[in-house]
Amino acid sequence: MTKDKLHQLTGDERLGQQRESEYLGAEDIDDDIEPILTIAGLWNGMVTLQRGKENKDVLSFQEERVPGILQVRPLIVNSTNRKTLRKLFGDAKASTLIGKKIQLYIDHKVRDPQDGGLTDGIRIRPHKPRVQEQTPVPPCTDCKQPIQAAMGKSAAYMAAYTAKHYGVALCAECAQKRKAAAEMQQTDPEEEQIPQADPDTGEVL
C-alpha cells in the first residue's frame, strides 16, 4: 500500500467529495439531491480556473453544510445561472438577492469550454424552492433520538419513508434493526414446522 496519507472512504462517503477547491462543483453534490441554499453575499473578481484566471461573479451562502453537500463553498455564477436569478427575483442586485433561497441541481449536459464536450454542471432551478424546514421532523419512535439524514436522503425523507413502510418514523439504524427482526421472524424454525404423519394411522399430527 502507498505510504501517502490516505483517508479510507466508508459508508456514504464517495469519490470527489473531498476534493480541494475554493468553489462549489458538480462533484460536491450527492446524486439525486437538489440542495436548497440561502444567498449570503455577491462577489466579483478574478478567480482561478483550470484554463487560467477569469473575472467571475460568485455567490456565497449562509449554510456551511446541508443534506447533499458535505461542505458548502461559494458558487461561481455563469451566464445561464445569472439569467435564472433575474427571472426568479426580477433583477440580479445584491439588495435583491441577499437572503433569498435557491435550489441547485446537476445538469449532465453542460458544454465543456475546455474541449467542447458534455460535462456535469451546477444549475439553479427556475422556480423558488418550497421551504421544507417548516415541517418539523419527529424523533425516532424506537430510540427517541433526532432522525438524521442518511444514505444521501434528508431527515424529512427518512421520517416519511419509514413512516410509510413501518408505520412509525424511524432513524436509519432503528429501521435496519426492525428489518432484521422481521427477517428473523420469517425464518424462525418454530413457525415453519413441517406436518408429520402418525406411522400407524397415517393421520397428520
Summarised one tens digit per residue, pLDDT across range 180-198 is 998 888 765 555 454 454 5
Q: Give the model confidence (pLDDT) of 84-139 as tens digits.
A: 999 999 999 999 999 999 999 999 888 776 677 888 899 999 998 876 545 688 99
Spatial contact of 61 and 72, defined as CB atoms under 8 Å apart: yes
Q: Could you give the percent of the chain with pLDDT greater than 70?
A: 81
Does pLDDT of 13 surpass 70? no
Comparison of pLDDT for 17 and 148, the residue scoring more: 148
What is the 3 state secondary structure string of the chain?
A: CCCCCCCCCCCCCCCCCCCCCCCCCHHHECCCCCCEEEEEEEEEEEEEECCEEEEEEEEEECCCCECCECCCCCEEECHHHHHHHHHHHCCCCHHHHCCCEEEEEEEEEEECCCCCCEEEEEEECCCCCCCHHHCCCCECCCCCCECCCECCECHHHHHHHHHHHHCCCCCHHHHHHHHHHHHHHHCCHHHCCCCCECCCCCCEC
Q: What is the pLDDT of residue 135?
A: 62
Partnered with residue 43 across adjacent β-strands are 58
Using CB atoms within 10 A of its CB, is residue 145 exposed (0-12), middle (13-18) or buried (19+)? exposed
Nearest to 59 by CA among 42, 44, 82: 42
Going from N- to C-terminal start, the domains of the chain cover: 26-132, 135-188
In sequence order, the 6+-apart residues with CB closer than 8 A to the CB of 47 are: 22, 23, 53, 54, 55, 56, 58, 76
Does pLDDT of 205 surpass 60? no
Euclidean distance between CA atoms 76 and 108, whole angstroms: 17
C-alpha cell recorded at residue 23: 468553489
